[in-house]
């Protein structure tokens, strides 16, 4: 098939993201309720804070907001991870970043599959936080072996999905009919399966070791465990959830409330109890909790300097609290967080001056009109001051390890586990069959492209 007949990976991703959302609405009806709440609050924010709507218009985020979501899955083996990477590649999603969760008592390490170019992100920002179970961290050897054997027997991809992935790799893309078939087939991997692959006793054994291990090992596939829409006001969501019959976790993860949001703030609600049919039982006598709901608010991507400041302030907050936030100390935690983060400038110009965040630059009408004038400024700072260039923060597209740990824990129950601190990026990349991309380099490239395009529009060299 000639290349121009291929459907773009961006469009396959947009289709897949929509299909996933539809499936999850059917599987977890509370997700539908949550989407309604998020859409209500987003409308309110845009009506009441025109400056927020205006900023989203500059960056184009206003057009992606309604379809913006991330999901999360947990796979059991290196082969599963490597094939998932090939499946996501069909949709233009690449592994970005490495997250070690072992230090937070969760025996997985993870990456985020997502589009990497701002043009592609604009079409569909869909991302999937993907974790690989680390059986090597489990010291119960017979159980480790049992888990390995069970996982070795399952095939989480349909034969047609595997064929279409290979076809896409061979030919360089998929035509419209194949792309449609691919979306349907790929979706099967992420479905909830009520039939477990293990007996009730085996499930119990896996569960007693760690609930996450049972979740990964006992089922036919890596069911999507949450799908997270993006809100413009997570505090309003946190307050509004109980009235909709959705009980939120005690604290919002991430930075405190700010006028100019940074990175990522997230809250979630408890997992559902699902009926499960164990392999040695009639009907669905068992139950399992795996899936939950989550909401997030996204803000500026931070430079290494900004990120270091964020990490330091978050750490200092936890030290003053004397541990991780819980239901009991939630209010004190939020107060301490606010106090510590007073040291992080909450003004775009200051954040830019201090080199804390990445930005996008735009030629204004005034700048375009002044193109031919001889005495216009030609430095970036001069052009900004003259109103010829406008800038907005570049949105954070990734995840935060401390927040992710909080999300994992709030939904796995408070069991304490100690796996030490066992980051092993090399082992993860080996399993993946690829290197993960450096998110900071991607933000820097995106900022540079925006400066270049802005300079080109104005007829000056910027950046
Ligand atoms: C993933 C938890 C992390 C996030 O948004 O930080 C996550 C999981 O529970 O599998 O989704
Ligand atoms: Ni999540």
What is the DSSP code string of 297-356? EE-BPBPHHHHHHHHHHHHHHHHHHTSS--STTHHHHHHHHHHHGGGS--SHHHHHHTT-
Does any ligand 1 atom lie closer than 6 A to the CB of residue 72? Answer: yes
Rounded CA-CA distance 222/260 in Å is 36
* Per-residue confidence (pLDDT) for residue 292, from 0 to 100: 86
- Residue pLDDT, tens place only, 331-366: 999 999 999 999 999 999 999 999 999 999 999 999
Q: Lowest mean pLDDT: which of 50-64, 68-82, 88-102, 142-156?
A: 50-64
- Residue pLDDT, tens place only, 6-31: 999 999 999 999 999 999 999 988 88
Rounded CA-CA distance 379/455 in Å is 10
Contacts of 389 (CB under 8 A, 6+ apart): 361, 362, 363, 364, 367, 380, 383, 454, 458
Which residue's CA is the nearest one to ligand 1's atom 7?
404
Report in angstroms the alpha-carbon separations of 240 from 21, 38, 267, 462.
22, 10, 12, 45
- Residue pLDDT, tens place only, 32-43: 988 999 999 999
Closest CA to 438 of 121, 71, 116, 70: 116
| Mean pLDDT of the region 199-216 | 93
Report the share of the chain in percent with pLDDT over 90: 77
Sign of the C-alpha dihedral computed for residues 366, 121, 456 and 375 taken in this order = positive
Confidence of residue 248 (pLDDT cuts 50, 70, 90): confident
Strand partners, 67: none
Confidence of residue 66 (pLDDT cuts 50, 70, 90): confident
Which residue's CA is the nearest one to ligand 1's atom 4?
404
* Per-residue confidence (pLDDT) for residue 257, from 0 to 100: 96
CA atoms within 13 A on the CB side of 119: 5
* Per-residue confidence (pLDDT) for residue 415, from 0 to 100: 65
3-state DSSP assignment of residue 305: helix
Does any ligand 1 atom lie closer than 6 A to the CB of residue 6? Answer: no
* Per-residue confidence (pLDDT) for residue 131, from 0 to 100: 98
Strand partners, 227: 71
Does any ligand 1 atom lie closer than 6 A to the CB of residue 404? Answer: yes
* Per-residue confidence (pLDDT) for residue 390, from 0 to 100: 98
- Residue pLDDT, tens place only, 279-318: 998 888 889 988 888 999 999 999 999 999 999 999 999 9
> 362: buried, middle or exposed (CB in 10 Å: 19+, 13-18, 0-12)?
middle
Q: Say which ligand is closest to the CA of 254.
A: 1
Rounded CA-CA distance 309/330 in Å is 23
**For ligand 1, mutation pick of 108, 408, 412 (most atoms within 8 Å of CB):** 408
Does any ligand 1 atom lie closer than 6 A to the CB of residue 407? Answer: yes
Q: Quick one: DSSP state of residue 436?
A: P
Tell me the CA–centroid distance for residue 188 and ligand 1, in Å.
20
Closest CA to 272 of 194, 187, 209, 218: 194
Please identify, by atom number, the ligand 1 atom nearest to the C-alpha of residue 399.
6
Confidence of residue 63 (pLDDT cuts 50, 70, 90): confident
Which residue's CA is the nearest one to ligand 1's atom 3?
404
Confidence of residue 462 (pLDDT cuts 50, 70, 90): confident
Please identify, by atom number, the ligand 1 atom nearest to the C-alpha of residue 412.
9
Tell me the CA–centroid distance for residue 294 and ligand 2, in Å.
6
The distance between the two most distant Cα atoms of the chain, rounded to a whole number of Å, is 83
Contact 129, 71 (CB under 8 A): yes
Does any ligand 1 atom lie closer than 6 A to the CB of residue 224? Answer: no
**For ligand 1, mutation pick of 404, 410, 413 (most atoms within 8 Å of CB):** 404
Rounded CA-CA distance 403/408 in Å is 9
Closest CA to 223 of 404, 28, 32: 28
Contacts of 268 (CB under 8 A, 6+ apart): 226, 248, 249, 292, 293, 294, 295, 407, 410, 411
Strand partners, 7: 174
- Residue pLDDT, tens place only, 377-432: 989 999 999 999 999 999 999 999 988 888 888 777 656 678 877 889 999 999 99
Q: Is the pLDDT of residue 181 over 70?
A: yes
* Per-residue confidence (pLDDT) for residue 300, from 0 to 100: 98
* Per-residue confidence (pLDDT) for residue 416, from 0 to 100: 67
> 379: buried, middle or exposed (CB in 10 Å: 19+, 13-18, 0-12)?
exposed
Give the other-Cβ count within 10 Å of 199's Cβ.
15
Confidence of residue 271 (pLDDT cuts 50, 70, 90): low
* Per-residue confidence (pLDDT) for residue 414, from 0 to 100: 59
Does any ligand 1 atom lie closer than 6 A to the CB of residue 266? Answer: yes
Q: Would residue 229 be called left, alpha or beta, if left means φ above 0 and alpha means ψ between -120 and 50 degrees?
A: beta
Mean pLDDT estimate for the chain? 93
Tell me the CA–centroid distance for residue 116 and ligand 1, in Å.
20
Q: Which residue has the higher pLDDT, 439 or 210?
A: 439
Tell me the CA–centroid distance for residue 289 and ligand 1, in Å.
15
* Per-residue confidence (pLDDT) for residue 156, from 0 to 100: 98
Compute φ and ψ for 134, nearest 5 degrees.
-110, 85
Q: Check: pTM over 0.85? Answer yes or no.
A: yes
Q: Which residue has the tokens 């559902």?
A: 272
């Amino acid at each position: 098939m000639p290349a121009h007949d291929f459907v773009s990976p961006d469009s396959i991703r947009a289709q897949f993201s929509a299909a996933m959302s539809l499936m999850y609405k059917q599987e977890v009806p509370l997700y539908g309720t949550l989407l309604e709440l998020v859409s209500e609050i987003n409308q309110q924010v845009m009506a009441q804070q025109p400056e927020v709507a205006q900023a989203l218009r500059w960056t184009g985020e206003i057009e992606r907001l309604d379809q913006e979501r991330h999901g999360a899955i947990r796979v059991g083996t290196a082969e599963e991870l490597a094939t998932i990477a090939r499946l996501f590649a069909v949709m233009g999603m690449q592994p970005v970043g490495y997250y070690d969760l072992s230090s937070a008592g969760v025996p997985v390490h993870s990456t985020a599959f997502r589009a990497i170019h701002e043009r592609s992100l604009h079409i569909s920002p869909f991302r999937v936080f993907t974790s690989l179970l680390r059986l090597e961290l489990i010291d119960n050897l017979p159980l480790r072996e049992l888990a390995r054997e069970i996982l070795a027997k399952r095939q989480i991809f349909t034969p047609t999905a595997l064929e279409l992935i290979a076809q896409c790799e061979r030919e360089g893309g998929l035509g419209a009919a194949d792309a449609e078939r691919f979306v349907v087939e790929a979706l099967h991997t992420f479905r909830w399966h009520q039939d477990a692959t293990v007996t009730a006793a085996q499930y119990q054994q896996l569960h007693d070791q760690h609930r996450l291990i049972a979740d990964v090992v006992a089922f036919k596939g890596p069911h999507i465990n949450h799908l997270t829409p993006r809100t413009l006001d997570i505090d309003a969501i946190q307050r509004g959830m109980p009235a909709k019959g959705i009980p939120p976790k005690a604290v919002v993860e991430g930075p405190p409330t700010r006028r100019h949001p940074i990175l990522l703030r997230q809250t979630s609600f408890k997992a559902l109890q699902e009926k499960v049919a164990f392999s040695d039982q009639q009907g669905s006598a068992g139950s399992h909790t795996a899936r939950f709901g989550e909401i997030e608010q996204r803000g500026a991507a931070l430079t290494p300097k900004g990120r270091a400041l964020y990490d330091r302030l978050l750490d200092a907050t936890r030290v003053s609290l004397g541990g991780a936030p819980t239901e009991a100390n939630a209010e004190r935690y939020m107060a301490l967080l606010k106090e510590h983060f007073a040291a992080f400038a909450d003004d775009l110009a200051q954040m830019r001056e201090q080199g804390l965040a990445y930005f996008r630059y735009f030629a204004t009408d005034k700048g375009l009109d002044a193109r031919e004038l001889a005495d216009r400024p030609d430095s970036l700072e001069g052009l900004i001051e003259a109103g010829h260039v406008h800038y907005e923060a570049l949105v954070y597209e990734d995840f935060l390890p401390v927040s992710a740990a909080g999300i994992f824990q709030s939904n796995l129950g408070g069991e304490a586990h100690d796996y030490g601190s066992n980051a092993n990026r090399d082992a993860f990349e080996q399993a993946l069959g690829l290197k993960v991309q450096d998110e900071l380099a991607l933000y820097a490239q995106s900022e540079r492209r925006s400066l270049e395009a802005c300079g080109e529009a104005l007829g000056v060299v910027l950046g």
